[in-house]
C-alpha cells in the first residue's frame, strides 16, 4: 500500500551551498538520506516531496555549516500482509518468479503458483503446469496476495506472495476462471 508520511528532521547545509535556494539544497539533503531507504515503520521510501525548510538555522561551534529544521512528506510503499496486489513478472527462475509490486520485487515461489506440478523451461524462460498447461513468463501481469514481508533496516527487504487462491494468478487465468463461472451460472439458469 502506498502512503504519504509527514516527518520532521534537521538538515545540515554545508558552507559551499550557501547562496543557493534553501528549499533545493534541503531537497538534495533529504533525497540522499531517505530515498531508497527500507525501514520497519515506513516501509520502502520511494520519494521525498513537499519540503518546508525553516530559513532560520543554527551554527554549531567548530562546524561552518548551518542546521535547519525541515518538515517534509515521503511517498512510501508498505506491504501489508494479506493485501492483494497486481504486478508484472520481471524474472523467472527454477524456484519461482519475481513479481514487481510497487518499487520492489516479491518472490512467487513455484509451490505458491498453482495446484499443479510445475516444470521450468530454461531456454524459453517459462514455468509451466504439467496438467493445466498454464505458463508464466517474464512480462506477464499477475494478481497475488502478500503472505510474508520482512523489512529490515537499510536498502533491502523481502516479500513473499502467493497465487494459489481463487481469482489469483496470471490475469489471463483469472479471466478464463470468471468466464467459466459465468457460463456455468447461465447454464444453470436455463435448466430451471
Q: Which CATH superfamily is domain 84-183 in?
A: Nucleic acid-binding proteins (2.40.50.140)
Average pLDDT over residues 143-157: 82
Average pLDDT over residues 98-119: 92
Question: Is pLDDT at 157 greater than 80 in this prediction?
Answer: no
**Banded model confidence at residue 185, pLDDT cuts 50, 70, 90:** confident
pTM of the shown model: 0.78
State which fold the 2-77 domain adopts: Dna Ligase; domain 1 (3.30.1490)
17-43 burial, b at 16+ Cβ within 10 Å, e below that, comes to beeeebeebbbebbeeebeebbbeebb
Question: Is pLDDT at 192 greater than 70 in this prediction?
Answer: no
User: What residue spans define the domains of the chain?
Assistant: 2-77, 84-183
Average pLDDT over residues 129-158: 87
Answer yes or no: same fold for 2-77 and 84-183: no
Instruction: Output 169 or 185, whichever has higher pLDDT.
Output: 169
pLDDT tens by residue, 11-40 = 999 999 898 999 999 999 999 999 988 888
Q: Are 163 and 113 in contact (CB under 8 A)?
A: yes
Average pLDDT over residues 53-76: 92
Amino acid at each position: 500500500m502506498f502512503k504519504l508520511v509527514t516527518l520532521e528532521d534537521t538538515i545540515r547545509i554545508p558552507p559551499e551551498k550557501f547562496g543557493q535556494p534553501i528549499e533545493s539544497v534541503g531537497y538534495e539533503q533529504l533525497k540522499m538520506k531517505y530515498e531508497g531507504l527500507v525501514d520497519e515503520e515506513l516501509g520502502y521510501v520511494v520519494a521525498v516531496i513537499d519540503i518546508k525548510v525553516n530559513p532560520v538555522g543554527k551554527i554549531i561551534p567548530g562546524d561552518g555549516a548551518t542546521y535547519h529544521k525541515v518538515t517534509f512528506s515521503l511517498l512510501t510503499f508498505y506491504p501489508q500482509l494479506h493485501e492483494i496486489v497486481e504486478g508484472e513478472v520481471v524474472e523467472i527462475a527454477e524456484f519461482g518468479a519475481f513479481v514487481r509490486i510497487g518499487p520492489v520485487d516479491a518472490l512467487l515461489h513455484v509451490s505458491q503458483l498453482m495446484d499443479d506440478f510445475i516444470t521450468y523451461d530454461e531456454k524459453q524462460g517459462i514455468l509451466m503446469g504439467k496438467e493445466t498447461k498454464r505458463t508464466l513468463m517474464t512480462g506477464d501481469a499477475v494478481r497475488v496476495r502478500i503472505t510474508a514481508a520482512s523489512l529490515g533496516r537499510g536498502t533491502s527487504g523481502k516479500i513473499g506472495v502467493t497465487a494459489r487462491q481463487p481469482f489469483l494468478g496470471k490475469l489471463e487465468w483469472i479471466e478464463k476462471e470468471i468466464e467459466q463461472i459465468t457460463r456455468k451460472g447461465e447454464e444453470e439458469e436455463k435448466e430451471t
